[in-house]
Amino acid sequence: MPEFAWRAAQADGHLVEGRTEAAAADAVLRQLRERGLTPIRVESTAAAEQAGAAGAPGRARRRVDRGPVNRADVLAFTSELSIMLRAGLALDNALRVLIEMAHKPSVRTLLEGILEDVKGGAPFSRALSGHRELFGDFYINMVRSGEVSGQMSLVLERLVEHLERLRALRESVVSATIYPTILLAVAVLSLVVMLGFVVPQFKTLFSDLGDGLPLPTRIVMGLGDAFRQYGWGIAIGFALLLLLARRWLRTAAGRQWWQNLALRMPIIGTLLYKYDLTLFSRSLGTLLGNGVPLLTALQIATDTVGNANLRARLAKMAPMVKGGGRMVAAMTATHSFEPLAINLVRVGEETGRIGPMMLELASLLTRDVETGIKRALTLLEPILILVLGVLVAAIIVSILMGILSVNELAV
């Protein structure tokens, strides 16, 4: 019978570990719960020994663990806290368990500060408010709704689902752009090698012809000389230009200019627009589903939108609803939603289920964004290959024209 190593939390928050022989991991979980313990981790001893033998991955993980608290840490913290609260562990004891389990010093410090506030009598949502830049208004208001309704574990479980969906959407976007980025880098590197190393090899052959060379050949040779003599200067200048552009884009004026430009781009603009609407719809639906008032939910969901222009239009919805207007009328007035979205919300208003309808809209928009990304990359990849082929062919043809000119003069 296989042996399983486990870690569990007692009712007072202390961690205990042990090993148990059982037919499966589910049997170990059942035994631990019968003993009044909250299971934290159960794995076969063989898998644990293999993980311990992998020294290099362990060292890599320790290097990562020294970093600041990030989105993945917040997601893990929320998921583990939800499991412990659902198992009946008190909030302060659950936080103590998380502190003992923390691998990152930054996460441990964060949880210790939250625990101190909770032990001092502050509600959990107020303890999180001291770290608003990390958790955000959406997260804090969701926790506050869980405190009011007495369903903290359920609210945290929904928060985990929300954060998981957002992470999956971000990762799908990032993963989809990896291949085009590599392709673009290869294209640039190929041109640099051609102009900086291949083209200058023909300089001696063409040196006697001067103005007798064809114009395309003279242009390519000139570019090759520039790369050969000023290559480092061009690279440094380009790097400085990118650095200055990056800093400017972080300013309010630069960010607004880029957002306006991005929305006007074909295909990309539509995808970015729908991505922001996805964030708004999912946030609003999740907040409403957990009892957050509509006006508060609208304000918080609007703040999750990254594009300033779209955010300004969506910000007009809350005042209209506060003045007695219907949600459908407020959405229509923004000119930001398609008829399908407006009809979904109209059904939600008539049935009293605006939250579920917003979540349904978010799912539809997510599928549209993922499909649009795949289609855009399907177009982008052959375009990049074609452009690279044309540029390399132009260089080769220019050199061949110069060689033919030399042969003609020799004849």
CA distance linking residue 194 with residue 174, whole number of Å: 30
H or E element at residue 293: none
Torsion of CA 152, 154, 155, 157, to 10 degrees: 120
H or E element at residue 13: none
Q: Could you tell me the end-to-end alpha-carbon distance of the chain, in angstroms, rounded to an integer?
A: 89
CA distance linking residue 67 with residue 63, whole number of Å: 8
Phi/psi for 17 (5° steps) reads -130, 160
Written as one letter, the residue type at 31 is Q
Tally of CB atoms within 10 A around 174: 10
Nearest of 242, 249, 304, 306 to residue 273 by alpha carbon: 306
pLDDT at position 63 is 41
Contact 349, 294 (CB under 8 A): no
- Tokens representing residue 391 in the block: 């540029």
Phi/psi for 251 (5° steps) reads -75, 165
Strand order in the sheet with 15-21: 15-21, 3-9, 38-44
Per-residue pLDDT of the chain (411 residues; tens, 9 = 90+): 778 888 777 766 667 778 888 877 778 777 877 787 777 777 777 655 554 444 444 434 444 456 788 888 888 888 888 888 887 788 888 888 888 888 888 889 999 999 999 988 899 989 998 888 888 877 887 888 788 777 788 888 888 888 887 788 778 777 777 877 888 888 888 888 888 787 877 777 776 665 567 888 888 888 888 877 887 888 898 899 989 998 988 888 888 888 788 778 887 888 888 888 988 888 888 888 878 888 888 988 888 787 888 888 899 999 999 888 888 999 999 888 888 889 998 998 888 888 899 989 988 988 888 888 888 877 887 888 888 888 888 888 888 887 877 666 555
* pLDDT tens by residue, 159-177: 888 888 778 877 877 777 7
Segments in 290-353 forming alpha helices (H): 294-303, 308-314, 317-322, 327-334, 339-351
pLDDT at position 57 is 42
pLDDT at position 64 is 43
Does the global pTM surpass 0.75? no
pLDDT at position 243 is 92
Contact 316, 333 (CB under 8 A): yes
CA distance linking residue 397 with residue 410, whole number of Å: 20
- Tokens representing residue 225 in the block: 């000389």
Per the document, the length of the chain is 411
